[in-house]
């Protein structure tokens, strides 16, 4: 009768069998019996499957898999209640392997293949390492500030190994450049040139980086960059042009001497033009 032949008898029997199995696992340095081989470390990514292999020789009479002091399998009998842990259908009698599906962080740790050869218990150990792709868990919301203000952007990420974070700035003009690395980005006395999107990139080389964006809008007063007339003959139509930038968008108003010519005449987001007809001598316009 196998090592788990009495599983249905009583709870007391389960305790006795468990103790017998634990005696197969001596403390201290992992041992090797005959051709029994087990890798020291197995590294898998979260969500993948881990195969723990144990090659045993024909002299082995009893085998078991344990996770710390928890029995997973004793021979072909499953003791673990976890449906993700299965015993592989081995093609050779010399292999005793298990598979853990959809591996998670709590699966990380030592696993022991315990064997009994000529009534002498020995074991060999493997350590399962679970890697977790970098993932951004918290990031600053989009922000609007006045020029000259201080802005502190934050981006938090998790991962195993630890995630590294870098910031990139994409300006409204389409240019982009590396800014800094670290969870916090401080912009002191921000200028209009520093407006745009700030990209937080979290990575740890386990999978593609996780990328999130914060939009920073900088308000600044209107600045007239160009004001001109096309030049025209007396009695002909004339065009006056004015270009300015501002956030929020500026309103344009034209004056002739002290008299308003009207708001938003020929206005675009950054420029305004005024078309006048029948220009007379000594007409003066100011922006």
Architecture of the structural domain at 140-220? Sandwich (2.60)
Q: Which of 18-32, 54-68, 131-145, 147-161 bottoms out in mean pLDDT, i.e. has the lowest?
A: 18-32
Please give the average per-residue pLDDT across 192-215, as a whole number. Answer: 94
Q: Provide the pLDDT for residue 55.
A: 76
The percent of residues in the chain predicted with pLDDT above 90, rounded, is 42
- Give the tens place of pLDDT for each residue, 23-56: 444 433 333 333 444 457 899 999 999 999 887 7
Neighbouring residues of 239: CB distance < 8 A, sequence distance ≥ 6 = 229, 230, 232, 273, 274, 275, 276
Please give the average per-residue pLDDT across 144-148, as a whole number. Answer: 94
Name the CATH superfamily for 11-131: Immunoglobulins (2.60.40.10)
Chain position carrying tokens 């209107």: 222
- Give the Cβ contact number of residue 24 at 10 Å: 21
Tokens at 286, concatenated = 């100011």
- Give the tens place of pLDDT for each residue, 102-118: 999 999 999 999 888 77
> Looking at the predicted structure, is the pLDDT value of residue 203 above 90?
yes
**How far from 111 is each of 21, 41, 97, 135, 195, CA to CA, in Å?**
14, 10, 12, 28, 53
Q: Are strands 196-203 and 98-100 parallel, antiparallel or unpaired?
A: unpaired
> Looking at the predicted structure, is the pLDDT value of residue 99 above 90?
yes
What is residue 13's DSSP assignment? H
The percent of residues in the chain predicted with pLDDT above 70, rounded, is 70
The candidate with the shortest Cα–Cα distance to 177, out of 186, 166, 187, is: 166
Neighbouring residues of 109: CB distance < 8 A, sequence distance ≥ 6 = 67, 68, 127, 128
- Give the tens place of pLDDT for each residue, 212-271: 999 999 998 887 776 666 666 666 666 777 777 788 887 777 777 777 665 444 444 444
Give dist(CA 111, CA 198) in Å, integer.
Answer: 44
Confirm whether 11-131 and 140-220 share one CATH topology: yes
Domain ranges of the chain: 11-131, 140-220, 230-276
Please give the average per-residue pLDDT across 135-150, as a whole number. Answer: 96
Q: What is the mean pLDDT of the chain?
A: 76
* More confident position, 114 or 155: 155
Reported confidence tier of residue 205, pLDDT bands at 50, 70, 90: confident
Give dist(CA 112, CA 121) in Å, integer.
Answer: 12
- pTM check: above 0.85: no
In 49-181, beta strands by DSSP E? 50-52, 60-67, 70-74, 77-78, 85-87, 98-100, 109-117, 120-139, 143-146, 151-160, 164-170, 176-181
- Note whether 279 and 236 are within 8 A (CB): yes
Q: Provide the pLDDT for residue 285.
A: 39
Give dist(CA 272, CA 254) in Å, integer.
Answer: 9
Q: 109 has which bridge partners? A: 128
Q: Which of 70-74, 123-127, 276-280 bottoms out in mean pLDDT, i.e. has the lowest?
A: 276-280
């Amino acid at each position: 009768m196998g090592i788990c032949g009495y599983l249905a008898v009583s709870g007391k029997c389960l305790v006795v069998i468990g103790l017998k199995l634990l005696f197969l696992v001596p403390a201290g340095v992992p041992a090797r019996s005959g051709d029994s081989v087990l890798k020291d470390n197995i590294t898998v990514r979260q969500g993948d499957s881990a195969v723990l292999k144990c090659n045993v020789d024909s002299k082995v009479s009893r085998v078991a898999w344990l996770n710390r002091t928890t029995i997973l399998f004793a021979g072909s009998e499953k003791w673990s209640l976890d449906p993700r842990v299965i015993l592989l259908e081995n093609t050779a009698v010399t292999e005793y392997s298990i598979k853990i599906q959809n591996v998670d962080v709590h699966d990380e740790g030592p696993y022991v293949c315990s064997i009994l050869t000529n009534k002498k218990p020995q074991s060999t150990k493997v350590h399962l390492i679970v890697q977790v792709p970098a993932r951004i868990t918290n990031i600053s919301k989009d922000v609007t500030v006045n020029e000259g203000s201080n802005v502190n952007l934050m981006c938090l990420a998790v991962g195993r190994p630890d995630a590294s974070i870098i910031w990139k700035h994409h300006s409204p003009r389409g240019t982009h450049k590396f800014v800094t690395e670290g969870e916090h980005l401080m912009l002191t006395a921000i200028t209009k040139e520093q407006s745009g999107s700030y990209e937080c990139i979290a990575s740890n080389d386990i999978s593609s980086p996780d990328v999130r964006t914060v939009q920073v809008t900088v308000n600044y007063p209107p600045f007239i960059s160009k004001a001109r007339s096309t030049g025209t003959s007396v009695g002909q139509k004339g065009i006056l042009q004015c270009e300015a930038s501002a956030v929020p968008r500026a309103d344009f108003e034209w004056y002739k001497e002290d008299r308003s010519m009207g708001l938003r005449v020929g206005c675009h987001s950054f420029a305004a033009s005024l078309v006048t007809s029948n220009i007379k001598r000594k007409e003066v316009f100011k922006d």
